[in-house]
Homo-oligomer: A and B are copies of this chain.
Amino acid sequence: MSPLSSSLLNPRLSFSLKPLFLFSQSSFAPRKFQIPRQFVSAKRKTFSALASEQSSATNNCGRSGGGGRSGAISPSSVVEEVQRIDVNPPKGTRDFPPEDMRLRTWLFNHFREVSRLFGFEEVDYPVLESEALFIRKAGEEIRDQLYCFEDRGNRRVALRPELTPSLARLVIQKGKSLSLPLKWFAIGQCWRYERMTRGRRREHYQWNMDILGLPEVTAEAELISSIVAFFKRIGITESDVGFKVSSRKVLQEVLRCYSVPENLFGKVCIIIDKIEKIPIDEIKRELNATGLSEEAIEELLQVLSIKSLTKLEEILGGAGEAVADLKELFSLAEKFGYSEWIQFDASVVRGLAYYTGIVFEGFDRQGKLRAICGGGRYDRLLSTFGGDDVPACGFGFGDAVIVELLKEKGLLPELNLEVDNIVCALDYDLQGVAAEVATKLREKGQSVDLVLESKPLKWVFKRAARTNAQRLVLVGNTEWQKGMVGVKILSSGEQYEIKLDELE
């Protein structure tokens, strides 16, 4: 917070208002003076008296002259104590001025259009949820980073760190009224109270697509296909991005051999997910602390290093589900046409406790960026909330890393404001006519930047250039007397007069 600045130390220049000191007695008073109670009990004039002496108003109630449109309150007469606020958004959050918003809209439109092409329906949930929805016991990073607080009704609430638990909640709520399989997508803001590092913020938007009600790997194949379709639309190729794919069942089958009880499964996955972030000895120590023997840990790490499905099959055998699922996924990838995008990598486990089967993540082949997106199967999430389980899988795709990738590849789109028309009156008296012209054009579906003040033509052309207006429509007296307006096509310079009714 910046310190209190006194009114005198803080010169506030009005942009275009000529100050007119309506409150001549108080406008220069110190900002923080105390108003004595009942100080205004002496009435000057009644309104009935006022009305009758209207024309000769020279007392405090009359206009102090000057008149015109400029007479707002002087900026220095602002009443509350002025505390210069921090003009930046809170740490880790973003403003979206027009240029950034255009990029966000462009990105979200692609998310939406791809989801539509795949027949998914859009949903959303509250950004503020009960904290209980996100509290899992597997030691996930996401839990430590929860933006949680107590509301005024003493409820523990949290800004959602992800969308999947809300999806699960809604699906349980809707129960049998839903037709399976569900294909839902959402684009929602998520929050994590992270230590700020380069490129990591505390909020981001996440595109989620989820399929519920399908135990078949076709669901995972379809989801990856939709991400590939998205990448292709925005110019990203298989030489830029790949998907590492594995299955949590690989780990499960290993752990089963060491009789590790299933209730440790989530916890073990969360530890393993940190392999690239913390030293291997620390990983081993944490695994050991859960109860795994050193031999089991060594075997586990050995399996995690496998990058070939054939090799995995040699180790686990062909009868297991892990291998069968993965083989089917790779076979489907070929039919969907994205074989070049995916590769088996046993080290992928993902950082969420609830995954049970196939897991995948999109990665930058240059290795410069963090995971671009990630997802997997979570067949048992609903029962952790007390609901009936439904086979489910989905992915999350953030809005941050993809923008970094587009920058890296020189693929950021050039997005400009573009209006169809700029409409301008040549005299302020014709402002009403310009409004009429603008209304007519807008009713025909044309966008209009209406010039709402008297400005020289030079200014108008400059503005037209900034807004990329296609056409300038000028309302002048001579033309308007004939019911006509002047038109200039700004790309070609072509100029003509036209009846307003004929303007399309």
CA distance A118 to B419 in the complex (A): 9
Q: A10-B386, A193-B151, A335-B436 are in contact. Are A215 and B70 (CB under 8 A)?
A: yes
Q: Mark A118-157, 1 if CB is under 8 A from B, else 0.
A: 1101111111111011001110000000010111110101
A501 at the B interface (CB under 8 A): no
Residue of B nearest to A425 (CB): B218
Of A235-243, A397-405, A448-456, A485-493, the one touching chain B: A448-456
**Residues of A409-453 whose CB lies within 8 A of B:** 417, 419, 422, 431-433, 435-436, 439, 442-443, 445-450, 452-453
A67 at the B interface (CB under 8 A): yes
Q: Mark A21-50, 1 if CB is under 8 A from B, else 0.
A: 011011101000001111111111111001
CB atoms of A128 and B14 under 8 A apart: no
- B contact residues around A85 at 8 Å (CB): 130, 132-133, 169, 172, 385-386
In the complex, the count of this chain's copies comes to 2
CB atoms of B98 and A184 under 8 A apart: yes
A502 at the B interface (CB under 8 A): no
- B contact residues around A436 at 8 Å (CB): 335-337
Of A274-282, A313-321, A341-349, A362-370, the one touching chain B: A313-321
**Residues of A207-262 whose CB lies within 8 A of B:** 211, 213-219, 221-222, 225, 229, 252-254, 256-262
A96 at the B interface (CB under 8 A): yes
CB atoms of A40 and B252 under 8 A apart: no
CA distance A386 to B7 in the complex (A): 9
CB atoms of A118 and B314 under 8 A apart: no
Residue of B nearest to A22 (CB): B256
CB atoms of B73 and A14 under 8 A apart: no
Q: A119-B467, A261-B35, A383-B82 are in contact. Are A254 and B128 (CB under 8 A)?
A: no
- B contact residues around A54 at 8 Å (CB): 317-319
CB atoms of B126 and A218 under 8 A apart: no
- B contact residues around A147 at 8 Å (CB): 128, 151-152
Residue of B nearest to A136 (CB): B80
A181 at the B interface (CB under 8 A): yes
Q: State how many angstroms separate the Cβ of A148 from the closest Cβ of chain B.
A: 9
CA distance A387 to B86 in the complex (A): 11
- B contact residues around A26 at 8 Å (CB): 261-263
Q: State how many angstroms separate the Cβ of A263 from the closest Cβ of chain B.
A: 3
Q: Mark A53-90, 1 if CB is under 8 A from B, else 0.
A: 01101001111000101111101011110111111111
Residue of B nearest to A174 (CB): B97
CB atoms of B72 and A319 under 8 A apart: no
Q: A14-B388, A261-B26 are in contact. Are A98 and B121 (CB under 8 A)?
A: yes
Q: A73-B262, A97-B170 are in contact. Are A121 and B417 (CB under 8 A)?
A: yes
CB atoms of A450 and B389 under 8 A apart: no
Q: Mark A100-134, 1 if CB is under 8 A from B, else 0.
A: 01101100000000001111011111111110110
Q: State how many angstroms separate the Cβ of A293 from the closest Cβ of chain B.
A: 4
A265 at the B interface (CB under 8 A): yes
CA distance A116 to B104 in the complex (A): 16
CA distance A332 to B425 in the complex (A): 14
- B contact residues around A180 at 8 Å (CB): 15-16
CA distance A380 to B40 in the complex (A): 24
10 contacts between A and B (CB under 8 A): A15-B213, A17-B389, A75-B380, A79-B262, A79-B263, A87-B385, A98-B122, A116-B447, A117-B448, A149-B150
CB atoms of A295 and B43 under 8 A apart: yes
A484 at the B interface (CB under 8 A): no
CA distance A149 to B121 in the complex (A): 34
Q: State how many angstroms separate the Cβ of A264 from the closest Cβ of chain B.
A: 7
CB atoms of B293 and A389 under 8 A apart: no
Residue of B nearest to A421 (CB): B119
A8 at the B interface (CB under 8 A): no
CB atoms of A321 and B431 under 8 A apart: no
The contact of A256 among B60, B261, B302, by CB within 8 Å, is B60
CA distance A183 to B12 in the complex (A): 23
CB atoms of B432 and A118 under 8 A apart: no
CB atoms of A47 and B254 under 8 A apart: yes
- B contact residues around A482 at 8 Å (CB): none
Q: State how many angstroms separate the Cβ of A471 from the closest Cβ of chain B.
A: 13
CA distance A380 to B27 in the complex (A): 14
